[in-house]
Amino acid sequence: MDRNPHILIIGSGLGGLICGYILSREGFKVTILEKHHKFGGNLQTFRRNGVEFDTGMHYVGSLDKGQVLHKFFNYFGLLGKVKYRRLDENGFDRIFIKDNEYPYAMGYDNFVETAAKYFPGKYNTLKAYGKKIRQVAQGIDPYNLREVDMSQIFNVDSLNENVFSHLRTLTSDQRLQNYFSALNILYAGERDKTSMYVHALINNHYIESAYRFVDGSGQVADAFVENIENNGGEAFKNSEVMKFIFDDKKKIKAVKTCSGELFHADFFISNMHPYNTIKLVPPGLVRKVYRKRLQRLPNTISSFAIYAVLKERAMGYLNSNYYCHKDDDVWAAGNYDKDRFPQYFGMYPLADTIDEKFTRGFSIMTYMDYDEVKPWENTVSRNRGEDYEAFKEEKAQKLLDFVETRFPGIRNKIKVYYTSTPLTLRDYTATRRGSIFGIMRDCNKPYESYIFPRTKVPNLYLTGQNLNLHGMLGVSISGLLTCGEFVGVNYIIRKINEEYDKEINAHV
């Protein structure tokens, strides 16, 4: 090839943007096509009554100086462009289980010391828990930006270790087991299926340090697009890819968008769900068993959310997130029961630059199964009918009743609220059945639910949350692995570390 290879990326979720950024920096010509009218997928925000709401990125972890996300943000050119705020060190998350409230504190020593006040006599168990999850999370090379042996990437014991079994051997105290498991909402955990790998990576991420974006996560998408364009790349909205066009060597030569436009390239990276991607490949070009596997892999449950605009100065700024479990059994995703809706809520107050002293809005999330909105699955957004509006309102009232049990009088502080359902998630990001975090990881079949970036189509690659793990950190690792197919994973890891040493350490 006597010119820079051209890479076409389908989807501008975090995964697509990361690949676009890394590869455009490395001299590839990059084009991103996004089906929606906004970039970012789950990073998108929307504005109502002057308040900017996050949709799928309420907080991130490991962002203190020297921690892994800080290194990624430096390499991605996000530091200084994106505003974020450190959450309450002594309770970034506050958890209600039945009648008790417990904080999750930042920093391992602080985590143990703080929790020990709520669990007298359990100091050593708390310490053992902290040690275990730190050990597991710090043992996984790419998540610590250590060079990787790709043949061993999924050869990790914690992938098939069930976290709940571990917690049961650690302590017979159910209250403590629940405390350790309470954030399983962050990965739609299922008691019999969630691995130590998923649990440890996510809990460690936030215990290291926890931050929320100020003015919303949409600025991350905007900053990525700007950086990609500065590197010579291009990104187009309202460009849904409907079809792959193949050459006679069974390689993709172009994609066709909904408007009939053709985009040619040398390589194609799909940020779509892997099954939706492979559906566009004709039979015979990928093995039937691979196609079936992608089709059958279960996806995590979906969600219902309230986005509330608060009355002016009705509530002081809250620098924590709140999780409330109705039952003693905190593993609600695997026990979802629509008749007991809502089984939990997660409440995420917003931070903005308009008023730093008051909370101007928050989102409240809970699980909802896609089947509950199936009657409206063939309708389009904003025009789903009165019965759908009534359904949403009934659910919103039930959710607010539950929130009132922990925040009495909160209804009176709300000026107006908006709701979303699994159909909203499905339509905004094309995730299967409105799944929150994509493909579910099952420790009983660990290798089935982890997907490599390479496909049987020689110039088609995958990226995003469905490959390895969801979330800011998980998708950054997927992006690293996908781009590694072009320039080498260890080359990128070295570059991230070298740049960090040069730019950050130079200033200390």
Per CB under 6 A, 204 contacts ligand FAD? no
* Least Cβ distance, residue 500 to ligand FAD (angstroms): 20
Per CB under 6 A, 20 contacts ligand FAD? no
Per CB under 6 A, 15 contacts ligand FAD? yes
67-75, 79-87, 394-402, 471-479 -> range binding ligand FAD (CB under 6 A): 471-479
Per CB under 6 A, 10 contacts ligand FAD? yes
Residue from 25, 29, 35, 326 binding ligand FAD (CB under 6 A): 35
Instruction: Mark residues 221-260: x for contact with ligand FAD by CB under 6 A, - for none.
Output: -------------------xx-------------------
Per CB under 6 A, 468 contacts ligand FAD? no
Q: Which region, left, alpha or beta, applies to residue 80 given φ > 0 means left and ψ of -120 to 50 means alpha? A: left
The angle subtended at Cα 134 by Cα 114 and Cα 464, nearest 5°, is: 115
Residue from 42, 178, 181, 184 binding ligand FAD (CB under 6 A): 42
Per CB under 6 A, 471 contacts ligand FAD? yes
User: Can you say whether the dihedral through the CA atoms of 136, 347, 419, 217 is positive or negative?
Assistant: negative
Per CB under 6 A, 472 contacts ligand FAD? yes
Distance from C-alpha of 451 to C-alpha of 209, rounded to nearest angstrom = 29
Helix (H) or strand (E) segment spanning residue 460: strand 460-462
Per CB under 6 A, 324 contacts ligand FAD? no
Distance from C-alpha of 20 to C-alpha of 464, rounded to nearest angstrom = 12
Instruction: Mark residues 83-122: x for contact with ligand FAD by CB under 6 A, - for none.
Output: ----------------------------------------
* Least Cβ distance, residue 430 to ligand FAD (angstroms): 4
Residue from 11, 342, 349, 361 binding ligand FAD (CB under 6 A): 11
**Is 446 in contact with 159 (CB distance < 8 Å)?**
yes
Burial of 71 (0-12, 13-18, 19+ CB in 10 A): buried
Strands 29-33 and 234-236: parallel
Per CB under 6 A, 429 contacts ligand FAD? yes
Within 10 angstroms of residue 331's Cβ, the number of other Cβ atoms is 23
Strands 93-97 and 100-104: antiparallel
Phi, psi for residue 174 in degrees, rounded to 5: -65, -30
Per CB under 6 A, 71 contacts ligand FAD? no
- Tell me the residue nearest to ligand FAD as measured from the CB: 13
Token pair belonging to 362: 């928050």
Residue from 20, 56, 274, 484 binding ligand FAD (CB under 6 A): 56
Per CB under 6 A, 403 contacts ligand FAD? no
121-129, 176-184, 376-384, 467-475 -> range binding ligand FAD (CB under 6 A): 467-475
* Least Cβ distance, residue 73 to ligand FAD (angstroms): 13
**Is 168 in contact with 177 (CB distance < 8 Å)?**
yes
Token pair belonging to 216: 């919303």
Per CB under 6 A, 464 contacts ligand FAD? yes
Residue from 7, 8, 9, 14 binding ligand FAD (CB under 6 A): 14
* Least Cβ distance, residue 228 to ligand FAD (angstroms): 14
State the SS3 of 38-97.
CCEHHHCEEEECCEEEECCCCCEECCCCCCHHHHHHHHHCCCCCCCEEECCCCCCEEEEE
Distance from C-alpha of 162 to C-alpha of 450, rounded to nearest angstrom = 16
How many Cα atoms are found within 13 Å in the side-chain-facing hemisphere of 319? 14
> Footprint of ligand FAD on this chain (CB under 6 A)?
10-16, 33-36, 41-43, 56-60, 240-241, 271-272, 303, 365, 425, 429-431, 436-437, 464-465, 470-472, 475
